[in-house]
């Protein structure tokens, strides 16, 4: 394995992240000069982090002289994993340094712990949106911007952006792109990987700009909040500048705009290219998109009816109680369903007291996730659709063993390799979800001995972090945070977030002895 080349490229990634930190550092200095004295420790944190990143990145870049530039499959997998793990390590430093220079903070602030900072940065880069903060307002604007920007950078994938703008990756670009780009591209997308990566980047920037302008046009958000929430929305991340999330604005217009852009972010980005070249009919024929939209419509209707019939009061994230009339039920059902299905995790209401049917539907969608090729988390719609068809075919063979029925998706027969891949992925997600729940249970004291972590908290925290969503239930619910978990649990959940974002196998393969074997 060409480890030196992997180290060299990881160093280049650190240099790029350091440059971004420096840009935010310049903005922070400008705010300090304008009289925002809370930015002084933030500027120190940003510039020191950028300096550390430059030293580390330059050392890795200059100190590694690979014998060859070739990037094989193993090198691509290792580089992708290191990009997230090491990238999160650097992204955590501004929080940690800021907290130690911000004299107004009390001794219990979560960012005084590097593990908490790493959890927050991993949550940002993996677009999970789980936070350790109970008082988001304690952060200066430059820290909030960096926090939101980690979402946006992670949305399409650090490595995809890396390939799009840095040609030095060379022949390994296609392998890196295949490892990191989430899902297959429909027919008609450009075959050149560098052109494809650039195209996806331009689409990402274009839709992000439209989202920012739309949010600003409501008059409910200033430019800063509009930009930060765009970063979270387009990455299906969910970190907000407000403790009450989107519910803070109490605006139907904001809700509708966020719903629309969450829906777009949960679609396969390759479909936008087909739209731009006039192949809109081909987009609508995409089976995954149709299942994605149909599932949402059905679940929104079911939850709205459930809320309306059960007459449970709807408690917003600001603590306001709203009667569950038809329109309010539909509004909150639509927002929560789209947010959780796409893995965004924005909240306008605390669904903790919703009927059990509604909560079951929400967390079922959370597990499924959005479309392949999107920034959403979860299993992905197409995999679940194939796995369900495989299950139904197996049920039929129980009473008709002589029948061999082909499984088709979108008029195309699904091959054995794809059937095995989809089924194995769903099974692996379930196994890791169970193992994650057990690991959190090991590290957390239960309520009967003075802890906060009951079984449902551990269960949904594991599921939500693995599926890159954010909020769970009970002590990890929509109006709660992850700051109270023990360091061991935070390390476990950071690992789950990384596993979910890298679609399991790209990270799990690093723990197999054969991966490190010198034999092919």
pLDDT digits (tens, 9 = 90+) for 223-247: 999 999 999 999 999 999 999 999 9
* Tokens at 166, concatenated: 């840095």
The C-alpha R_g of the chain, in whole angstroms, comes to 23
Per-residue pLDDT at 176 exceeds 50:
no
Q: Which residue has the higher pLDDT, 320 or 191?
A: 320
How far apart are alpha carbons 388 and 390 in whole angstroms? 5
Residue 126 lies in a domain: yes
Residue 141 lies in a domain: yes
Residue 293 lies in a domain: no
How far apart are alpha carbons 487 and 47 in whole angstroms? 27
Torsion sign, CA atoms 419, 424, 425, 430: positive
Residue 111 lies in a domain: yes
Q: What is the DSSP letter of 408?
A: E
Per-residue pLDDT at 27 exceeds 90:
yes
Contact criterion met (CB below 8 Å) for 180 and 157: yes
Picking from 381, 419, 367, 408, the residue whose alpha carbon sits closest to that of residue 289 is 381
How far apart are alpha carbons 336 and 230 in whole angstroms? 17
Q: Which residue has the higher pLDDT, 174 or 58?
A: 58
Per-residue pLDDT at 182 exceeds 50:
no
> pTM for the full model?
0.91
Residue 457 lies in a domain: no
How far apart are alpha carbons 508 and 80 in whole angstroms? 12
3-state secondary structure of 163: helix
- Give the alpha-carbon dihedral of 346, 347, 348, 354, to 10 degrees: 150
Residue 324 lies in a domain: no
pLDDT of amino acid 166: 40
- Give the alpha-carbon dihedral of 381, 387, 392, 394, to 10 degrees: 170
Contact criterion met (CB below 8 Å) for 144 and 243: no
Per the rule left: phi > 0, alpha: psi between -120 and 50, beta: everything else, 76 is alpha
Give the domain range for residue 145: 3-188
**3-state helix vs strand vs coil in the chain, percent to 5:** 70, 0, 30
107 pLDDT band, cuts 50/70/90, is low
Residue 454 lies in a domain: no
Q: What total of structural domains would you count in the chain?
A: 1
269 pLDDT band, cuts 50/70/90, is confident
Question: Which burial class, exposed, middle or buried, applies to 187 when counting CB atoms under 10 A from its CB (0-12, 13-18, 19+)?
Answer: exposed
Buried b (16+ CB within 10 A) or exposed e, 411-442: eeebeeebbebbbebbebbeebbeebbebbbe
pLDDT of amino acid 201: 79
Residue 247 lies in a domain: no
């Amino acid at each position: 394995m060409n480890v030196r080349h992997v180290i060299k490229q990881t160093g280049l990634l650190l240099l790029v992240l350091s440059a971004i930190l420096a840009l935010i550092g310049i903005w922070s200095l400008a705010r300090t000069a304008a009289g925002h004295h809370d930015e002084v420790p933030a500027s120190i944190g940003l510039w020191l982090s950028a300096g550390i990143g430059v030293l580390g990145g330059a050392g890795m870049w200059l100190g590694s002289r690979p014998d060859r530039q070739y990037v094989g499959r193993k090198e691509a997998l290792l580089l992708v994993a290191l990009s997230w793990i090491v990238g999160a390590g650097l992204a955590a430093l501004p929080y940690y340094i800021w907290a130690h220079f911000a004299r107004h903070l009390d001794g219990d602030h979560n960012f005084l712990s590097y593990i908490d900072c790493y959890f927050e940065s991993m949550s940002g880069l993996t677009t999970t949106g789980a936070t350790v903060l109970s008082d988001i307002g304690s952060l200066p604007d430059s820290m909030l911007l960096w926090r939101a920007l980690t979402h946006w950078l992670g949305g399409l994938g650090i490595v995809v952006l890396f390939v799009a703008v840095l040609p030095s990756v060379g022949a390994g670009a296609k392998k890196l792109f295949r490892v990191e780009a989430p899902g297959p591209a429909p027919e008609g997308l450009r075959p050149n990987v560098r052109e494809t990566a650039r195209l996806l980047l331009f689409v990402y920037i274009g839709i992000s700009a439209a989202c920012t302008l739309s949010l600003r046009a409501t008059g409910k958000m200033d430019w800063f909040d509009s930009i930060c929430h765009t970063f979270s929305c387009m990455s299906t991340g969910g970190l907000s500048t407000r403790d009450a999330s989107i519910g803070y604005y109490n605006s139907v217009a904001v809700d509708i705009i966020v719903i629309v852009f969450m829906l777009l972010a949960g679609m396969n980005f390759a479909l936008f290219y087909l739209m731009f070249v006039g192949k809109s009919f081909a987009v609508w024929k995409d089976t995954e998109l149709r299942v994605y939209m149909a599932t949402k419509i059905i679940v929104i209707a079911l939850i709205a009816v459930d809320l309306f019939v059960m007459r449970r009061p709807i408690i917003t994230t600001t603590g306001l109680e709203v009667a569950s009339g038809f329109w309010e039920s539909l509004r909150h059902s639509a927002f929560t369903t789209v947010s959780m299905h796409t893995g965004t995790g924005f909240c306008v209401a605390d669904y903790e007291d919703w009927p059990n049917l509604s909560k079951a539907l929400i967390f079922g969608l959370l597990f499924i996730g959005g479309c392949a090729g999107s920034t959403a988390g979860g299993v992905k719609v197409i995999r679940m659709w194939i796995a369900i068809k495989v299950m139904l075919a197996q049920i039929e063979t129980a009473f008709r063993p002589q029948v061999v029925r082909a499984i088709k998706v979108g008029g195309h027969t699904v091959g054995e390799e794809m059937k095995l891949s989809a089924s194995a992925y769903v099974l692996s997600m379930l196994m890791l979800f169970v193992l994650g729940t057990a690991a959190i249970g090991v590290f957390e004291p239960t309520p009967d001995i003075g802890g906060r972590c009951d079984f449902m908290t551990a269960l949904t925290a594991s599921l939500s972090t693995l599926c890159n969503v954010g909020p769970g239930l009970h002590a990890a619910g929509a109006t709660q945070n992850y700051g109270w978990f023990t360091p061991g649990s935070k390390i476990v959940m950071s690992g789950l977030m990384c596993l979910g974002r890298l679609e399991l196998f790209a990270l799990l393969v690093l723990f197999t002895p054969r991966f490190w074997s010198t034999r092919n």
